[in-house]
Structure 1
Amino acid sequence: MLHSAEYSAGKCVCKNIRCRLFPGSCCPHWCGVFFRMYVKHGTPVKMMEAYLTVLIKGICQSDENGSFLIKDYDVRKAYLAGSIKDVVSQFGMETIILYTALMLKKRIIVHHPRIEALLEFTRALPALTWHRKDWSILHPYVHLSDTELEDLQNCPGYIAGFVDPEVSNRSDLFDVYVNLPDSFITVSQSAKEAMAMGKLHKEVGHLIVQSAEDPERSDSQVIKDISIKTKEILANLLALADKCEDSKITLEGLKQHHFPAATENFLFHLAAAEQLLRI
């Protein structure tokens, strides 16, 4: 409730910040500073001035209303807020399914009835493909409404969280379905070919599990281990592309290297995801 002299009566106010330029972890502090400005002045103009100051200078200072410094919020720390070690602890070798789905930019649906558990788990997943640093694929809390589903289906690949168990019946929404309460992962029939596992997947899966289960290794170190392996895979893929016309990979070109079938299949779909495939 607002009790400032600027108001003739108590009022309620709700503030929402949407900005792609700053990590979401800074928003609670930022909202607090802006809210106190609004209570004092009774106008959004002061808030807009403060916002522009942060946008241009990275700082907003006020003895009365508090200070905000964007440099206090390292985006890399925001990326590391989720725990990959917890993900691996729950799913073990099946974590490779999540890794593969993310590498191939597939659609992942995660269900849990508790939103807190849902947010904690989904936030960690993009770190499996750290080289992209793309948290825009994350839609942590989605409802089964036409409007929200339409927005979701306009995305080529995503991680979407649902508390509604009915989402398990919407196979049109996912390539991979994660049931958090029961700790199982399902690959849809339509995605099984692209998601076929082989020797390379087993190798990466063992690396992920071994690193995550090491009590001496932090989450950031586990992510680094996975990222190094990912960069190795991508470097090999780029080397293959460099040998091809227009630096674009073809299925025929891959077949000349006589990879195991599952590896060839994975590299083909990865090339498509990385826009290295000649159509």
Structure 2
Amino acid sequence: MAAPDTQLMLSVGLIEKDINGDTLWVWCYPSVSPELRDVLLNKCCLTHGNQGLNTFVFSQFCRTWYYISTVEVQQPTALTKVTHFSIAVTAKDFNPEKYAAFSRVLCRMYMKHGSPVKMMEGYIAVLTKGICLSDENGSFVIKDYDVRKAYLAGSVKDVVAQFGMETIILYTAVMLKKRIVVHHPRVEALLEFTRALPALTWHRKDWSIVHPYVSLTDCELENLKTCTGYIAGFVDPEVSNRSDLFDVFINLPDREIIVCQAAKEAMAMGKVHRDVGLVIVQSAGDTERTEAQVIKDISVKTREILASLASLAEECENSKITLESLKQCHFPPATENFLFHLAAAEQLLKI
């Protein structure tokens, strides 16, 4: 019987660049939608001219995660008319390391045999048995890739090293489910940074908010706008002018965080933010502490805030907080404001 996580895979596709410089969608099993196929072609880097090779990228579109590995063909091989190819795996789950390892095995299979048949056999083996064994092309065992490891693979310590006390702005934005846009010209930097941010709100364990690599195309932006809150990465600097897309804008190369005028009230900082910010900076700055320990330290502080919010809700009608009930507690204005918006994000607010 197949393990449940084998049912998370949706498809495998093949994109080739031939000796004439043409890039084509060559093969897919079982299928992807025309819209997703266009996104995969755009993201595989073979259509980007001479901008360099992104060996592995991942993101999501319409709630489907995609993972693309791209390789340059090394002759001699059966692929005599192909210079590069990309393997695109789509799935329901966020687990970059798992699908990077699997797609590497598929790439070696295709490089050796020059036919999608062996790839399809490997894909079906993983789909049905959770394992793909090959002495010559490497092995892949799906149960080796725990999703918790994928969640912990992003580095909160690196985020704090870049932004210091300003990390509290990012923490607040994620807690309040704001729209966060990150710009960096290098895809790899976007992938690393965006995947780390949901760990600031570990109690949710929600990586569905991450869209690490988005283009300024109509279909991708329409998809993004259907999400209430997100963390989206863009390589195109033009995104800085698209204030309709974000509440918080992060210019990674310049280590700059900009809060939109419309979001400034909800994002106003007070004592509670300062307290959390100190915990984040002190924990992340401790070289003895692991990523998991840093995340736990932040999570403990978060749970204290959420416990206070829950106890307030218990005293209210239908266990839902109102602005009036918050005002009766005589919190400082910034704290009251934060708790009000947090109650909305945690679905504890009476509407």
**TM-score in same-fold range (> 0.5):** yes
- For residues 181-212 of structure 1, give each alpha carbon's deviation from its aligned partner in whole angstroms, at most 9, with x where no partner exists: 22121110000111111110011011111111
User: Is 1:109 matched with 2:173?
Assistant: no
Structure 2 residue matching 1:136: 3-state secondary structure: coil
How far off its partner does 1:256 sit?
1.7
Note closer, same or farther for the CA distance 1:33–1:222 as it changes in structure 2 (3 Å cut): same
- Which residue of the partner structure matches residue 89 of structure 1? 161
User: Is 1:180 matched with 2:252?
Assistant: yes
- Which residue of the partner structure matches residue 80 of structure 1? 152
How far off its partner does 1:74 sit?
2.0
The structure with the greater share of residues assigned to strand is 2
The structure with the greater share of residues assigned to helix is 1
- Which residue of the partner structure matches residue 279 of structure 2? 207
How far off its partner does 1:119 sit?
2.2
Q: Which amino acid aligns with 2:240?
A: S
User: Is 1:274 matched with 2:346?
Assistant: yes
Structure 1 runs not aligned, ≥5 long: none
Structure 2 residue matching 1:202: 3-state secondary structure: helix
Mapped to 2, the partners of 1:66 and 1:217 lie a distance apart of: 34
Kept in 2, the 8 Å contact 1:84–1:212? The answer is yes
Note closer, same or farther for the CA distance 1:184–1:32 as it changes in structure 2 (3 Å cut): closer
How far off its partner does 1:42 sit?
3.6
How far off its partner does 1:34 sit?
3.2
Kept in 2, the 8 Å contact 1:106–1:175? The answer is yes
Mapped to 1, the partners of 2:183 and 2:116 lie a distance apart of: 41
1:35-54 equivalence runs, <5 A: 35-37=107-109, 40=113, 42-44=115-117, 47-48=119-120, 50-54=122-126
- For residues 114-168 of structure 1, give each alpha carbon's deviation from its aligned partner in whole angstroms, at most 9, with x where no partner exists: 2222222222111111111111111112222222211111111111111222211
Mapped to 2, the partners of 1:258 and 1:55 lie a distance apart of: 57
Q: Which amino acid aligns with 2:246?
A: F
Q: Which amino acid aligns with 2:312?
A: L
Mapped to 1, the partners of 2:219 and 2:281 lie a distance apart of: 38
User: Is 1:243 matched with 2:289?
Assistant: no
* Partner of residue 24 from structure 1, selected from 88, 96, 120: 96
Q: Which amino acid aligns with 1:111?
A: H
Moved more, 191-200 or 215-224: 215-224
* Partner of residue 296 from structure 2, selected from 212, 218, 224: 224
TM normalised by structure 2 equals 0.72
Mapped to 2, the partners of 1:22 and 1:81 lie a distance apart of: 12
* Partner of residue 265 from structure 2, selected from 188, 193, 197: 193
Kept in 2, the 8 Å contact 1:107–1:156? The answer is yes
Note closer, same or farther for the CA distance 1:71–1:273 as it changes in structure 2 (3 Å cut): same
Moved more, 107-116 or 266-275: 107-116
Structure 1 residue matching 2:258: 3-state secondary structure: strand
Kept in 2, the 8 Å contact 1:92–1:209? The answer is yes
Structure 1 residue matching 2:181: 3-state secondary structure: strand
Structure 2 residue matching 1:200: 3-state secondary structure: helix
- For residues 21-45 of structure 1, give each alpha carbon's deviation from its aligned partner in whole angstroms, at most 9, with x where no partner exists: 461211122123334555649454x
* Partner of residue 147 from structure 1, selected from 215, 219, 224: 219
How far off its partner does 1:53 sit?
4.1
Mapped to 2, the partners of 1:255 and 1:17 lie a distance apart of: 51
Compute the RMSD of aligned alpha carbons: 2.2
Aligned residues: 275
Q: Which amino acid aligns with 2:140?
A: F
Kept in 2, the 8 Å contact 1:3–1:10? The answer is no
- Which residue of the partner structure matches residue 68 of structure 1? 140
Note closer, same or farther for the CA distance 1:60–1:183 as it changes in structure 2 (3 Å cut): same
Q: Which amino acid aligns with 1:249?
A: I
Structure 2 runs not aligned, ≥5 long: 1-72
Q: Which amino acid aligns with 2:191?
A: L
What is the percentage of aligned positions where both structures have the same residue? Answer: 69
Q: Which amino acid aligns with 2:327?
A: K
How far off its partner does 1:64 sit?
4.8
